[in-house]
Amino acid sequence: MNSLFDPPADQPRPGAPLAERLRPRTLAEYVGQQHLIGEGGVLRRYLEAGRLPSLILWGPPGVGKTTLAHLLAAQLKLPFVALSAINAGVKDVRDVIQQAKSRRGTILFIDEIHRFSKSQQDALLGAVEQGIVTLVGATTENPSFEVIPAILSRAQVYVLEALGKDELTGLVDRALRDDEALRRRPVRLESYDALLRISGGDARKLLNLLEIVVQAAKANPETGEVVINDEVVQQLAQQNLSRYDKGGEMHYDVISAFIKSIRGSDPNAALYYLAVMLEGGEDPKFIARRLLILASEDVGNANPNALLLAQNTFQAVTVIGMPESDIILGQCVVYLATSPKSNASYTAIREARAFVRQNGVAAVPLQLRNAPTKLMKQLNYGAEYHYSHDGEGNFVFQEFMPDGLGNKRFYTPGDNPTEAKMLERLRYWWGEKYGY
């Protein structure tokens, strides 16, 4: 735990990994997240106002959550203390709060806040509510599932985006140019592709992989030059990178392969990646939660029972725990992988939300509005609405869309037997209205 009275170190400790040696010391050096700290960004506006609310930084590993927390505190010149949810307990939280009472404005940073238990999070609540500390939490997991509602209601959630190719290659170039240790070996980088592919957008993993490669690659005996290409990176990475690590590293690579295998209807590959995660000690609830999302996103209405089984899987895993939960997860994985697939509903809601963001919210037609008062009835709220169950087949042809959007279609049924029947019904009900 950092002391309340000690600011973050300006220089990395001796022998620190490359990612630590290159950690930005000012916001000007910070890479990415311009939607938050760039011109007009919400965090920049807070800094310009000289204050910071409690907030949760949510994003994949290696995008700068911890660094950003340090830099925000340094920019505002506020006391800063950091706890890791992996090894901190309720007593640590209470000790920090007690010290912070004499130093108002303290920023309490909690890394991996999703690992805090409910009791640990409850211990924070009063201090956050009273303004004794400003909470900055970092998480790779959806805060809606992992952070208690009482804290979520008192903290703003900001999403950090994965770094783009230009940002990642820029980090590599900066490391080769500025890091004193790397500069000792003349390096000629022929390709970034393998570095970027293996690191998977994780800047910390990228820089540490680069250091491994530069140190391990053989130099030309005549020129002393180290040539780094995709073949060299791949070979050295296989020799040096660690096995599955549920805290990072391969975590996102494996879960990505797992989801894509189910989406691609390969139960054998999906079971392999499931086994890798379980053998690596992955939280079975994390896996079950991803299956729940996939059941709706990738199977959808091609097999509506998939969502029901995934929900029951999540509940069963929560109750039973390991080791027996592997049986339940395995059943669900096989079922989802062998189900017909459709992302039609997923695509439809994404398109609908994008349309609303771009075009704004149109007025609800009068006939669809509720009319609980006499005045509203006099204004014809709900006057021309037709109760659908009064029609033949429980359907009455009428307009539900706002003015100007009468024929706008978001949902297109997928190519599978279940949604083919939906398409038939939509054509029967709506004729040519939506182009079905």
Question: Residue 332: what pLDDT?
Answer: 96
Asked, for residue 191, whether it belongs to a domain, the answer is: yes
The verdict on 76 and 134 lying in the same domain is yes
**What is the distance, to the nearest Å, from the Cα of residue 363 to the centroid of all Cα atoms in its chain?**
33
- Per-residue pLDDT band for 111 (boundaries 50, 70, 90) equals confident
The verdict on 201 and 137 lying in the same domain is no
For residue 189, the cross-strand partners are 228
**What is the distance, to the nearest Å, from the Cα of residue 88 to the centroid of all Cα atoms in its chain?**
24
Domain CATH for 169: 1.10.8.60
Residue 381 has pLDDT above 60, yes or no: yes
Q: What is the mean pLDDT of the chain?
A: 83
Residue 240 has pLDDT above 60, yes or no: no
Please write the tens of the pLDDT for every residue from 284-319: 998 999 999 999 999 999 999 999 999 999 999 988
The mean pLDDT value for 324-339 works out to 94
Question: Residue 4: what pLDDT?
Answer: 33
Question: Residue 246: what pLDDT?
Answer: 53
Asked, for residue 318, whether it belongs to a domain, the answer is: yes
The mean pLDDT value for 183-192 works out to 80
pTM attached to this predicted model: 0.55
Domain CATH for 29: 3.40.50.300
Residue 195 and residue 172 in contact, taking contact as beta carbons nearer than 8 Å: yes
The mean pLDDT value for 384-388 works out to 87
The verdict on 26 and 154 lying in the same domain is yes
Taking alpha carbons only, the member of 291, 277, 290, 292 closest to residue 322 is 277
The verdict on 124 and 83 lying in the same domain is yes
Asked, for residue 395, whether it belongs to a domain, the answer is: yes
Domain CATH for 377: 1.10.3710
Asked, for residue 83, whether it belongs to a domain, the answer is: yes
The verdict on 291 and 235 lying in the same domain is no
The pLDDT > 90 percentage for the chain reads: 23
Domain boundary among 240, 262, 291: 240
Residue 275 has pLDDT above 60, yes or no: yes
Asked, for residue 412, whether it belongs to a domain, the answer is: yes
The verdict on 258 and 330 lying in the same domain is yes
The verdict on 304 and 380 lying in the same domain is no
Asked, for residue 355, whether it belongs to a domain, the answer is: no
Question: Residue 9: what pLDDT?
Answer: 45
The verdict on 154 and 171 lying in the same domain is no
Domain CATH for 320: 1.20.272.10
- Per-residue pLDDT band for 61 (boundaries 50, 70, 90) equals confident
Asked, for residue 351, whether it belongs to a domain, the answer is: no
- Per-residue pLDDT band for 130 (boundaries 50, 70, 90) equals confident
The verdict on 370 and 328 lying in the same domain is no
Residue 98 has pLDDT above 90, yes or no: no
Contacts of 366 (CB under 8 A, 6+ apart): 379, 380, 381, 382, 383, 384
The pLDDT > 70 percentage for the chain reads: 93
The verdict on 149 and 177 lying in the same domain is no
Question: Residue 105: what pLDDT?
Answer: 79
The verdict on 102 and 188 lying in the same domain is no
Number of domains in the chain: 4
The verdict on 36 and 117 lying in the same domain is yes
The residue segments making up the domain with residue 188 are 165-240
Please write the tens of the pLDDT for every residue from 5-22: 333 445 555 567 888 888
Asked, for residue 354, whether it belongs to a domain, the answer is: no
Poorest-confidence range of 56-65, 67-76, 214-223, 380-389? Answer: 214-223
Distances (CA, A) of 296 to 123, 194, 203, 378: 36, 33, 31, 43
Distances (CA, A) of 332 to 266, 287, 325: 13, 11, 11
Question: Residue 101: what pLDDT?
Answer: 82
